[in-house]
Amino acid sequence: MAENGSRQPLSGINVADFSWFAAGPVCAQTMGTYGAIVVRVESESHIDGLRGIGPFPTGKTGYNVSGYYNNYNANKLNVTLNLNVEKGKELAMKLIAWADVFITNITPRVIERWGLTYDELVNVRPDIIAVYQPMQGFDGPHRDFLGFGAVLGPITGINHLTGFPDRPPSGLGTNYPDYVINPQHTLTAILAALRHRKRTGEGQRIELSQLESVVASLAPAVMDYAANGRVQNRAGNRLPQASPHGAFPCKDITVRNPFGQEEQEGRWCVIACFDDEQWQSLRGAMGDPEWARRNDFATHAARKANEDALEEQIGAWTAERAPEEVMETLQAAGVPAAVIQNARDCLEDDEHLKGRDYYVYLDHPEAGRTAYDGPGFRLSKTPAQYRTPAACLGEHNEQVCKEIFGLNDEQIADLMVEQALY
Protein backbone atom coordinates (compact mmCIF):
# COMPACT_ATOMS: atom_id res chain seq x y z
CA MET A 1 0.00 0.00 0.00
CA ALA A 2 1.53 3.30 -1.10
CA GLU A 3 2.42 5.82 1.58
CA ASN A 4 0.65 9.16 1.68
CA GLY A 5 2.55 12.45 1.60
CA SER A 6 5.56 12.39 3.93
CA ARG A 7 4.90 15.95 5.10
CA GLN A 8 1.61 14.98 6.73
CA PRO A 9 1.39 14.34 10.49
CA LEU A 10 -0.49 11.02 10.25
CA SER A 11 1.54 9.51 7.44
CA GLY A 12 2.27 5.87 8.26
CA ILE A 13 -0.96 5.42 10.25
CA ASN A 14 -3.43 2.87 8.86
CA VAL A 15 -7.14 3.14 9.64
CA ALA A 16 -9.83 0.48 9.24
CA ASP A 17 -13.09 2.44 9.03
CA PHE A 18 -16.02 0.14 9.84
CA SER A 19 -18.33 3.07 10.66
CA TRP A 20 -21.27 4.52 8.75
CA PHE A 21 -23.40 7.65 8.40
CA ALA A 22 -21.37 10.51 9.93
CA ALA A 23 -19.87 10.37 13.44
CA GLY A 24 -17.26 7.75 12.50
CA PRO A 25 -16.72 8.58 8.82
CA VAL A 26 -16.12 12.29 9.49
CA CYS A 27 -13.43 11.41 12.04
CA ALA A 28 -11.81 8.90 9.70
CA GLN A 29 -11.87 11.37 6.80
CA THR A 30 -10.06 13.94 8.93
CA MET A 31 -7.34 11.37 9.61
CA GLY A 32 -7.08 10.66 5.88
CA THR A 33 -6.88 14.35 5.11
CA TYR A 34 -3.81 14.57 7.35
CA GLY A 35 -1.99 11.60 5.88
CA ALA A 36 -3.43 8.35 7.25
CA ILE A 37 -4.36 5.55 4.85
CA VAL A 38 -8.06 4.89 5.47
CA VAL A 39 -9.89 1.82 4.19
CA ARG A 40 -13.65 2.18 4.41
CA VAL A 41 -15.54 -1.13 4.83
CA GLU A 42 -19.07 -1.49 3.44
CA SER A 43 -21.29 -4.24 2.10
CA GLU A 44 -23.52 -4.30 -0.95
CA SER A 45 -26.19 -6.01 1.14
CA HIS A 46 -26.07 -3.29 3.81
CA ILE A 47 -24.69 -0.11 2.30
CA ASP A 48 -24.18 3.08 4.26
CA GLY A 49 -27.59 4.76 4.45
CA LEU A 50 -26.06 8.10 3.48
CA ARG A 51 -25.47 6.77 -0.03
CA GLY A 52 -29.23 6.81 -0.54
CA ILE A 53 -29.79 10.35 0.75
CA GLY A 54 -29.51 13.47 -1.41
CA PRO A 55 -28.63 15.89 -2.65
CA PHE A 56 -27.81 14.20 -5.94
CA PRO A 57 -26.40 15.89 -9.05
CA THR A 58 -29.20 16.68 -11.50
CA GLY A 59 -30.09 13.66 -13.59
CA LYS A 60 -27.78 11.26 -11.73
CA THR A 61 -28.79 8.37 -9.50
CA GLY A 62 -27.14 5.44 -7.77
CA TYR A 63 -25.11 4.61 -4.71
CA ASN A 64 -22.08 6.69 -5.69
CA VAL A 65 -23.45 10.18 -6.33
CA SER A 66 -24.86 11.31 -2.99
CA GLY A 67 -23.36 14.65 -2.05
CA TYR A 68 -24.19 13.85 1.57
CA TYR A 69 -22.12 10.66 1.56
CA ASN A 70 -19.31 11.88 -0.67
CA ASN A 71 -18.60 14.98 1.41
CA TYR A 72 -17.62 12.82 4.41
CA ASN A 73 -15.63 10.12 2.63
CA ALA A 74 -12.88 11.73 0.60
CA ASN A 75 -9.31 10.39 0.90
CA LYS A 76 -10.44 6.80 1.54
CA LEU A 77 -10.20 3.45 -0.16
CA ASN A 78 -13.42 1.43 -0.27
CA VAL A 79 -13.81 -2.33 0.07
CA THR A 80 -17.00 -4.39 0.32
CA LEU A 81 -16.91 -7.28 2.80
CA ASN A 82 -19.67 -9.60 3.95
CA LEU A 83 -19.20 -10.06 7.69
CA ASN A 84 -22.12 -12.48 7.86
CA VAL A 85 -19.98 -15.27 6.36
CA GLU A 86 -16.82 -16.76 7.88
CA LYS A 87 -14.51 -15.84 5.00
CA GLY A 88 -15.73 -12.25 5.20
CA LYS A 89 -14.89 -12.15 8.91
CA GLU A 90 -11.45 -13.54 8.13
CA LEU A 91 -10.84 -10.70 5.66
CA ALA A 92 -12.01 -8.19 8.27
CA MET A 93 -9.48 -9.55 10.73
CA LYS A 94 -6.72 -9.32 8.11
CA LEU A 95 -7.61 -5.67 7.64
CA ILE A 96 -7.56 -5.09 11.39
CA ALA A 97 -4.16 -6.80 11.67
CA TRP A 98 -2.90 -4.22 9.13
CA ALA A 99 -4.53 -1.26 10.88
CA ASP A 100 -3.24 0.96 13.65
CA VAL A 101 -6.72 2.31 14.32
CA PHE A 102 -10.10 0.58 14.05
CA ILE A 103 -13.24 2.80 14.09
CA THR A 104 -16.88 1.80 14.31
CA ASN A 105 -20.19 3.30 15.45
CA ILE A 106 -22.17 0.09 14.98
CA THR A 107 -24.37 -0.94 17.91
CA PRO A 108 -22.80 -3.09 20.66
CA ARG A 109 -24.88 -6.18 19.89
CA VAL A 110 -23.80 -6.17 16.23
CA ILE A 111 -20.17 -5.65 17.28
CA GLU A 112 -20.49 -8.74 19.45
CA ARG A 113 -22.21 -10.78 16.72
CA TRP A 114 -19.51 -9.97 14.18
CA GLY A 115 -16.69 -10.66 16.64
CA LEU A 116 -15.29 -7.13 16.55
CA THR A 117 -14.97 -6.55 20.30
CA TYR A 118 -11.69 -5.23 21.65
CA ASP A 119 -10.87 -8.56 23.29
CA GLU A 120 -11.10 -10.26 19.90
CA LEU A 121 -9.25 -7.56 17.97
CA VAL A 122 -6.16 -7.67 20.20
CA ASN A 123 -5.72 -11.31 19.25
CA VAL A 124 -4.78 -10.24 15.72
CA ARG A 125 -3.26 -6.82 16.50
CA PRO A 126 -2.10 -6.53 20.15
CA ASP A 127 -1.39 -2.79 19.96
CA ILE A 128 -4.58 -1.88 18.08
CA ILE A 129 -6.36 1.34 19.01
CA ALA A 130 -9.97 0.22 18.80
CA VAL A 131 -12.49 3.04 18.70
CA TYR A 132 -16.16 2.43 19.47
CA GLN A 133 -18.91 5.06 19.30
CA PRO A 134 -21.94 3.34 20.86
CA MET A 135 -25.06 5.50 21.03
CA GLN A 136 -25.21 5.43 24.83
CA GLY A 137 -22.19 3.36 25.87
CA PHE A 138 -21.34 -0.31 26.29
CA ASP A 139 -23.16 -0.68 29.59
CA GLY A 140 -26.16 0.80 31.36
CA PRO A 141 -29.87 0.16 30.85
CA HIS A 142 -29.92 1.81 27.39
CA ARG A 143 -26.84 0.16 25.85
CA ASP A 144 -28.85 -1.39 23.01
CA PHE A 145 -31.06 1.60 22.20
CA LEU A 146 -30.90 2.55 18.52
CA GLY A 147 -30.72 6.02 17.05
CA PHE A 148 -28.90 8.69 15.08
CA GLY A 149 -28.06 12.36 15.57
CA ALA A 150 -31.76 13.18 15.33
CA VAL A 151 -32.30 11.05 18.43
CA LEU A 152 -29.31 12.47 20.29
CA GLY A 153 -30.69 16.00 20.00
CA PRO A 154 -33.77 15.26 22.12
CA ILE A 155 -32.24 12.93 24.70
CA THR A 156 -29.28 15.21 25.40
CA GLY A 157 -31.50 18.25 26.01
CA ILE A 158 -30.48 20.20 22.90
CA ASN A 159 -33.97 20.18 21.41
CA HIS A 160 -35.53 21.47 24.62
CA LEU A 161 -33.45 24.64 24.29
CA THR A 162 -33.93 25.25 20.56
CA GLY A 163 -36.94 27.11 19.25
CA PHE A 164 -39.28 29.71 20.68
CA PRO A 165 -40.83 29.55 24.16
CA ASP A 166 -44.41 29.47 22.87
CA ARG A 167 -43.74 26.72 20.32
CA PRO A 168 -42.74 23.04 20.51
CA PRO A 169 -39.01 22.20 20.58
CA SER A 170 -37.61 22.52 17.07
CA GLY A 171 -34.14 21.00 17.24
CA LEU A 172 -31.25 22.22 15.12
CA GLY A 173 -32.58 21.11 11.73
CA THR A 174 -29.62 18.78 11.23
CA ASN A 175 -27.88 15.94 13.06
CA TYR A 176 -25.48 18.37 14.69
CA PRO A 177 -23.81 15.85 17.07
CA ASP A 178 -22.80 13.64 14.13
CA TYR A 179 -20.82 16.35 12.36
CA VAL A 180 -19.31 18.51 15.07
CA ILE A 181 -19.06 17.16 18.60
CA ASN A 182 -18.68 13.40 18.27
CA PRO A 183 -16.11 13.24 15.41
CA GLN A 184 -13.81 15.78 17.03
CA HIS A 185 -14.04 14.22 20.51
CA THR A 186 -13.19 10.91 18.84
CA LEU A 187 -10.26 12.38 16.93
CA THR A 188 -8.86 13.91 20.11
CA ALA A 189 -9.08 10.54 21.87
CA ILE A 190 -7.36 8.76 18.96
CA LEU A 191 -4.47 11.23 18.91
CA ALA A 192 -4.05 10.81 22.67
CA ALA A 193 -4.05 7.03 22.30
CA LEU A 194 -1.51 7.17 19.46
CA ARG A 195 0.77 9.28 21.63
CA HIS A 196 0.38 6.81 24.50
CA ARG A 197 1.21 3.91 22.17
CA LYS A 198 4.28 5.69 20.83
CA ARG A 199 5.58 6.09 24.39
CA THR A 200 4.60 2.68 25.78
CA GLY A 201 3.89 0.36 22.85
CA GLU A 202 0.40 -0.24 24.25
CA GLY A 203 -2.83 0.07 22.32
CA GLN A 204 -6.17 0.55 24.03
CA ARG A 205 -9.92 0.62 23.61
CA ILE A 206 -11.62 3.98 23.17
CA GLU A 207 -15.29 4.13 24.09
CA LEU A 208 -17.06 7.32 23.06
CA SER A 209 -20.64 7.26 24.30
CA GLN A 210 -22.33 9.62 21.86
CA LEU A 211 -24.84 10.54 24.57
CA GLU A 212 -22.14 11.64 26.98
CA SER A 213 -20.08 13.35 24.29
CA VAL A 214 -23.05 15.53 23.36
CA VAL A 215 -24.60 16.20 26.75
CA ALA A 216 -21.32 17.86 27.75
CA SER A 217 -22.22 20.73 25.40
CA LEU A 218 -25.16 21.65 27.64
CA ALA A 219 -22.91 22.60 30.55
CA PRO A 220 -24.44 26.08 31.17
CA ALA A 221 -28.00 24.71 31.35
CA VAL A 222 -26.92 21.81 33.54
CA MET A 223 -24.98 24.11 35.87
CA ASP A 224 -27.93 26.50 36.06
CA TYR A 225 -30.11 23.68 37.31
CA ALA A 226 -27.43 22.30 39.63
CA ALA A 227 -26.74 25.72 41.20
CA ASN A 228 -30.15 27.39 41.04
CA GLY A 229 -32.72 24.65 40.52
CA ARG A 230 -33.77 26.46 37.35
CA VAL A 231 -34.67 24.59 34.15
CA GLN A 232 -33.73 26.78 31.21
CA ASN A 233 -36.34 27.00 28.45
CA ARG A 234 -36.35 27.92 24.79
CA ALA A 235 -35.56 31.57 24.23
CA GLY A 236 -35.71 31.83 20.46
CA ASN A 237 -32.82 34.05 19.34
CA ARG A 238 -32.68 36.07 22.55
CA LEU A 239 -30.05 36.13 25.26
CA PRO A 240 -30.50 37.53 28.77
CA GLN A 241 -27.29 39.57 28.52
CA ALA A 242 -27.99 41.20 25.15
CA SER A 243 -30.73 43.32 23.59
CA PRO A 244 -31.41 43.45 20.75
CA HIS A 245 -30.20 39.95 19.96
CA GLY A 246 -32.06 38.34 17.09
CA ALA A 247 -32.71 37.66 13.43
CA PHE A 248 -34.32 40.44 11.40
CA PRO A 249 -35.99 40.39 7.97
CA CYS A 250 -34.29 42.11 5.05
CA LYS A 251 -35.17 42.78 1.42
CA ASP A 252 -36.25 39.73 -0.55
CA ILE A 253 -34.36 38.88 -3.72
CA THR A 254 -35.52 37.20 -6.93
CA VAL A 255 -33.81 33.91 -7.75
CA ARG A 256 -34.28 31.10 -10.24
CA ASN A 257 -35.16 27.72 -8.80
CA PRO A 258 -33.71 24.45 -10.24
CA PHE A 259 -36.61 24.39 -12.75
CA GLY A 260 -35.67 27.80 -14.16
CA GLN A 261 -38.62 29.59 -12.57
CA GLU A 262 -38.28 32.92 -10.81
CA GLU A 263 -39.29 33.07 -7.16
CA GLN A 264 -38.82 35.34 -4.17
CA GLU A 265 -36.28 34.35 -1.54
CA GLY A 266 -36.45 35.76 1.96
CA ARG A 267 -33.28 37.31 3.32
CA TRP A 268 -32.29 37.86 6.97
CA CYS A 269 -29.57 39.31 9.12
CA VAL A 270 -28.61 39.02 12.78
CA ILE A 271 -27.90 41.95 15.12
CA ALA A 272 -26.61 41.88 18.70
CA CYS A 273 -25.99 44.62 21.28
CA PHE A 274 -24.26 43.50 24.45
CA ASP A 275 -23.96 46.91 26.10
CA ASP A 276 -25.33 50.43 25.95
CA GLU A 277 -22.40 51.63 23.86
CA GLN A 278 -23.27 49.20 21.08
CA TRP A 279 -26.91 50.25 21.36
CA GLN A 280 -25.91 53.88 20.90
CA SER A 281 -23.86 52.90 17.84
CA LEU A 282 -26.85 51.02 16.43
CA ARG A 283 -29.04 54.06 16.97
CA GLY A 284 -26.55 56.22 15.07
CA ALA A 285 -26.27 53.73 12.20
CA MET A 286 -30.08 53.76 11.86
CA GLY A 287 -30.10 57.57 11.77
CA ASP A 288 -31.06 57.92 15.44
CA PRO A 289 -34.83 57.71 14.80
CA GLU A 290 -37.24 59.24 17.30
CA TRP A 291 -38.52 55.89 18.51
CA ALA A 292 -34.98 54.78 19.48
CA ARG A 293 -34.62 57.77 21.81
CA ARG A 294 -37.55 56.78 23.98
CA ASN A 295 -36.98 55.79 27.61
CA ASP A 296 -38.46 52.40 26.72
CA PHE A 297 -35.11 51.54 25.11
CA ALA A 298 -32.65 53.72 27.05
CA THR A 299 -31.10 50.94 29.15
CA HIS A 300 -30.49 47.24 28.82
CA ALA A 301 -33.20 46.51 31.39
CA ALA A 302 -35.65 48.75 29.54
CA ARG A 303 -34.87 47.10 26.20
CA LYS A 304 -35.37 43.63 27.68
CA ALA A 305 -38.70 44.71 29.15
CA ASN A 306 -39.84 46.02 25.75
CA GLU A 307 -38.09 43.53 23.48
CA ASP A 308 -41.07 42.74 21.24
CA ALA A 309 -41.54 46.42 20.38
CA LEU A 310 -37.79 46.89 19.96
CA GLU A 311 -37.49 44.02 17.48
CA GLU A 312 -40.50 45.27 15.51
CA GLN A 313 -38.91 48.70 15.06
CA ILE A 314 -35.50 47.34 14.09
CA GLY A 315 -37.16 44.87 11.72
CA ALA A 316 -38.92 47.71 9.93
CA TRP A 317 -35.52 49.35 9.34
CA THR A 318 -33.76 46.20 8.14
CA ALA A 319 -36.67 45.20 5.87
CA GLU A 320 -35.84 48.13 3.57
CA ARG A 321 -32.23 47.00 3.07
CA ALA A 322 -30.23 44.08 1.75
CA PRO A 323 -28.67 41.99 4.54
CA GLU A 324 -25.18 42.72 3.20
CA GLU A 325 -25.86 46.45 3.53
CA VAL A 326 -27.10 46.01 7.10
CA MET A 327 -24.05 43.94 8.03
CA GLU A 328 -21.52 46.30 6.51
CA THR A 329 -23.18 49.41 7.94
CA LEU A 330 -23.42 48.04 11.45
CA GLN A 331 -20.01 46.39 11.48
CA ALA A 332 -18.48 49.70 10.45
CA ALA A 333 -20.24 51.28 13.44
CA GLY A 334 -18.94 48.64 15.85
CA VAL A 335 -22.20 46.68 16.16
CA PRO A 336 -22.06 42.87 15.83
CA ALA A 337 -24.10 41.95 12.74
CA ALA A 338 -24.00 39.34 10.00
CA VAL A 339 -25.91 38.00 7.01
CA ILE A 340 -27.81 34.77 7.63
CA GLN A 341 -26.22 32.90 4.75
CA ASN A 342 -27.61 30.00 2.76
CA ALA A 343 -25.62 27.40 0.79
CA ARG A 344 -25.39 29.61 -2.30
CA ASP A 345 -23.99 32.47 -0.22
CA CYS A 346 -21.33 30.23 1.31
CA LEU A 347 -20.25 28.64 -1.97
CA GLU A 348 -20.50 31.59 -4.34
CA ASP A 349 -20.83 34.93 -2.58
CA ASP A 350 -18.83 34.80 0.66
CA GLU A 351 -15.65 36.69 -0.24
CA HIS A 352 -13.98 35.62 3.01
CA LEU A 353 -14.46 31.87 2.45
CA LYS A 354 -13.37 32.35 -1.16
CA GLY A 355 -10.34 34.36 -0.11
CA ARG A 356 -9.24 31.54 2.20
CA ASP A 357 -9.99 28.82 -0.39
CA TYR A 358 -12.07 26.94 2.16
CA TYR A 359 -14.09 24.71 -0.17
CA VAL A 360 -12.21 22.01 -2.04
CA TYR A 361 -13.41 20.84 -5.48
CA LEU A 362 -12.73 17.25 -6.53
CA ASP A 363 -13.61 15.33 -9.68
CA HIS A 364 -15.68 12.23 -8.93
CA PRO A 365 -16.04 9.55 -11.66
CA GLU A 366 -19.85 9.47 -11.35
CA ALA A 367 -20.91 12.61 -9.45
CA GLY A 368 -18.66 14.94 -11.44
CA ARG A 369 -16.89 17.99 -10.03
CA THR A 370 -18.32 18.79 -6.61
CA ALA A 371 -17.48 20.82 -3.52
CA TYR A 372 -16.16 19.25 -0.34
CA ASP A 373 -15.90 20.88 3.06
CA GLY A 374 -12.38 22.10 3.72
CA PRO A 375 -10.36 21.17 6.81
CA GLY A 376 -11.72 22.17 10.20
CA PHE A 377 -8.25 23.30 11.24
CA ARG A 378 -5.04 24.23 9.47
CA LEU A 379 -1.47 23.17 10.25
CA SER A 380 1.21 25.53 8.91
CA LYS A 381 3.95 22.90 8.49
CA THR A 382 1.84 19.85 7.60
CA PRO A 383 -1.28 21.06 5.80
CA ALA A 384 -4.31 18.99 4.90
CA GLN A 385 -4.35 17.32 1.50
CA TYR A 386 -7.45 16.31 -0.47
CA ARG A 387 -6.01 13.66 -2.75
CA THR A 388 -9.04 11.67 -3.91
CA PRO A 389 -12.83 12.11 -3.99
CA ALA A 390 -15.12 9.72 -2.14
CA ALA A 391 -14.67 6.20 -3.48
CA CYS A 392 -17.36 4.31 -5.33
CA LEU A 393 -18.80 1.28 -3.58
CA GLY A 394 -16.20 -1.51 -3.71
CA GLU A 395 -13.91 0.56 -5.94
CA HIS A 396 -10.72 -0.69 -4.28
CA ASN A 397 -11.62 -4.34 -3.70
CA GLU A 398 -8.85 -5.65 -5.93
CA GLN A 399 -6.27 -3.17 -4.69
CA VAL A 400 -6.97 -3.89 -1.01
CA CYS A 401 -7.05 -7.65 -1.60
CA LYS A 402 -3.68 -7.63 -3.35
CA GLU A 403 -1.79 -4.96 -1.42
CA ILE A 404 -3.12 -5.57 2.10
CA PHE A 405 -4.42 -9.13 2.10
CA GLY A 406 -1.72 -10.46 -0.22
CA LEU A 407 -4.18 -12.35 -2.45
CA ASN A 408 -3.88 -13.26 -6.11
CA ASP A 409 -6.54 -13.04 -8.83
CA GLU A 410 -7.73 -16.62 -8.36
CA GLN A 411 -8.13 -16.19 -4.61
CA ILE A 412 -10.03 -12.96 -5.12
CA ALA A 413 -12.38 -14.66 -7.58
CA ASP A 414 -13.04 -17.46 -5.10
CA LEU A 415 -13.94 -14.93 -2.40
CA MET A 416 -16.41 -13.28 -4.75
CA VAL A 417 -18.01 -16.62 -5.57
CA GLU A 418 -18.30 -17.38 -1.84
CA GLN A 419 -19.86 -13.90 -1.35
CA ALA A 420 -17.24 -12.92 1.22
CA LEU A 421 -16.15 -10.05 -0.99
CA TYR A 422 -19.07 -8.19 -2.58
3 state DSSP class of 187: helix
Eight-state DSSP code of residue 178: I
Q: Is 178 a catalytic residue?
A: yes
Strands 37-42 and 14-17: parallel
3-class secondary-structure state, position 66: coil
Of the candidates 180, 177, 181, 206, the residue with the CA atom closest to the CA atom of residue 191:
206
Alpha helices in 72-209 (DSSP H): 86-98, 108-114, 118-121, 149-155, 158-161, 176, 182-200
Q: Are 386 and 74 in contact (CB under 8 A)?
A: yes
Q: How many angstroms separate the CA atoms of 75 and 29, rounded?
A: 7
Pairing between β-strand 360-364 and β-strand 368-372 as defined by DSSP bridges: antiparallel
Helix (H) or strand (E) holding 343: helix 343-344
Q: Tell which residue, 31, 20, 212, has the closest CA to residue 110.
A: 20
Q: Which of 26, 5, 3, 10 minimizes the C-alpha distance to 129?
A: 10
Question: How far apart are alpha carbons 5 and 222 in whole angstroms?
Answer: 44
Of the residues 17, 48, 100, 178, only one is catalytic, namely 178
Angle, CA 64 vertex, CA 41 and CA 39 arms, to 5° = 25
User: What amino acid occupies position 316?
Assistant: A
As annotated, the active-site residues are 178
